[in-house]
């Protein structure tokens, strides 16, 4: 898998994903979730994106789902259903 370097300051990226770290995910798992988020955003466009974003972690424990919602809130400044 190719490694994509972030152009965002390291402090900002750490703050964005900290809820997932606190929920016990390792960096590889976080990378997979963020990659899926990007894919879903491209595929869904504006139609059904909220549901697709939630589906990314639909099979994960409750703590991870809650952390994911917090990350999305931090990234976009918008609340998703269930928050």
Cα 45 → chain centroid: 16
Provide the residue ranges of all domains of the chain, joining segments of one domain with +.
26-76
| Residue found by looking up tokens 């919602």 in the block | 69
CA gap 55, 20 in Å, rounded: 16
- Predicted confidence pLDDT, tens digits, the chain (83 residues): 445 455 556 666 788 899 999 999 999 999 999 999 888 888 876 677 788 888 999 999 999 999 999 999 888 876 655 55
């Amino acid at each position: 898998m190719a490694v994509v370097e972030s152009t965002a300051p390291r402090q900002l990226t750490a703050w964005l994903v900290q809820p997932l770290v606190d929920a016990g995910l390792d960096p590889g798992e976080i990378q997979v979730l963020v990659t899926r988020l990007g894919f879903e955003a491209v595929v869904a466009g504006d139609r059904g994106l909220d549901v697709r974003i939630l589906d990314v972690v639909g099979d994960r424990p409750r703590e991870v789902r809650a952390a994911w919602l917090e990350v999305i809130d931090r990234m976009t400044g918008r609340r998703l259903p269930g928050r």
